[in-house]
Amino acid sequence: MVLMSHPQLPSTEATVVAIRETAAEYGRAARVTHDIGADRSARRTAAGAFTVTDPDGGLPHEAYVEIPGSPHVAVEVYRSGLTPWLSARAR
């Protein structure tokens, strides 16, 4: 896992857009899978049955981004509190 110190992006979607734009600058395409809602989000294990929003009314949004090629890059984007977090690996 690589943790980098850069300006914080305001949302998961903003983070995905930044990753796609960066990949495009290098002639690479990003494949994105979105999980939206507490019932779909892996980090929302405390969500009750049939619950889509967080207790504060927010709609959780996670994304998994793959940039195929060499190096192959995979990025998991999820929120922790108010900040999107990245978990990335390259091979």
Of 63, 59, 60, 61, residue with least CA distance to 16: 63
- Mean pLDDT per block of 10 residues along the chain (91 residues) reads 64 87 93 78 59 68 88 81 59 64
pLDDT the model gives residue 25 = 93
Contact status, residue 33 vs residue 63, Cβ threshold 8 Å: yes
pLDDT at position 27, please?
Answer: 94
In the block, tokens 């999107």 appear at 84
The pLDDT of residue 48? 63
- Say how far apart CA 68 and CA 90 lie, in whole Å: 10
First to last CA, the chain: 12
The arrangement of strands across the sheet holding 83-90 comes to 31-36, 61-67, 73-80, 83-90
- What's the whole-model pTM score? 0.69
